[in-house]
Amino acid sequence: MEATTAAPKKRILSCIQPSGIPTLGNYLGALKNWKTLADEFDGAFAVADLHAITVRQEPAQFRKQINDVLALLLAIGLDPDQSILFIQSQVPAHSQLAWILNCYTQFGEMSRMTQFKDKSQSHADNVNVGLFAYPVLMAADILLYQADLVPVGADQKQHLEIARDIAQRFNTLYSPTFTVPEPYIGKQGARVMSLQDPLKKMSKSDPNPKSYISVFDAPDVISKKIKSAVTDSEGSVRFADGKEGINNLMAIYACCTGLTNEQIEADFAGKGYGDFKAAVAEAVIEELRPIRERYERYSNDKAYLKEVAAQGAERASRVANRTLQKVMKKIGFVLP
């Protein structure tokens, strides 16, 4: 009887910018699921530091943020021996392929990118070419690793579409070279809104620090922020239109406890918002506690972080350089 070989896992790629400590919204909406993705797929996870310099960075702080995010990826449970875990700028093939793909991307395509228009308005004093070509670098990130799947939020769907268009264009001009990536629609994390304005998404750039929770906020800070969260005057814990503040807290509580809205409503029937906010705070504190503890251990071990980054860059480069060499050969470059 012949032994059957398991089908190779599909490759999934996800990147995070080192633009400050992620919020509870970033964690519950995406990062919490990355460990599951790493177990289910052949995972590649990157600290996307090249993307971050479209905005001016203070060098020492930027360096710290890169290491902080690498430590966070370890803290959420990613295993550098299981997945490719790397810092984008340590793999030169990203910049090399991005330039090549710029020459296979039309100006008009980039001009239609809605995120460029939005960011141009918010950074009007620094509308640089990198900001304009940002989606091409993102396409290079994806296509270098022949990613089958890419988890995307609503604000990145357009960028994945352009990556698909570039891949298909190159494949048609030459021959099949790139895997055409598909969006990954998995278990949806909570869409966490601002604690002070629940009609807006939670954001670390919000000028009001009470509006967001950082994944590294101390327990007493988390408790205070949730207790001051905007709700309504009704006083009953139920999910309904017009109760955006309570709906947001219920979404957070559900994501941390695994309870459904119906179970939450039953548990808090006849109880006030004070009791509910205290329960939400405790659930968030316990959800983040092990991550914060592991992060502190990893972030203080600079030698280990350097070792993880070096190992990840080597593994990532082996995959990326194979793709880059293939691309350059098909175009006609003289290879060494």
Return the amino acid letter for 76.
Answer: I
Q: Which residues pair with 85 in a beta bridge?
A: 45
Helix (H) or strand (E) holding 46, with range, is: strand 42-47
- Residue keyed to tokens 């405790």: 282
Q: Which of 171, 175, 160, 181 is nearest to 11 (CA)?
A: 181
Give the rounded distance of the alpha carbon of 58 from its chain centre. Answer: 22
Cα 306 from Cα 297, distance rounded (Å): 14
Q: Are 231 and 268 in contact (CB under 8 A)?
A: no
End-to-end CA distance of the chain: give it in Å, rounded: 47
Provide φ and ψ at 147, rounded to 5°. -65, 130
Give CA–CA dist 135/110, Å, rounded.
Answer: 8
The first and second tokens of residue 172, run together, are 């048609």
Close Cβ partners of 298 (under 8 Å, ≥ 6 residues apart): 71, 74, 75, 304, 305
How many Å apart are CA 253 and CA 260, to the nearest integer? Answer: 9
Burial code of 31-61, b = ≥16 C-beta within 10 A, e = fewer? bbbbbebbeebbbbbbbbbbbbebeebeeee
Evaluate whether 147 touches 179 at the Cβ level (below 8 Å): yes
Q: Which residues are catalytic?
A: 119, 201, 204
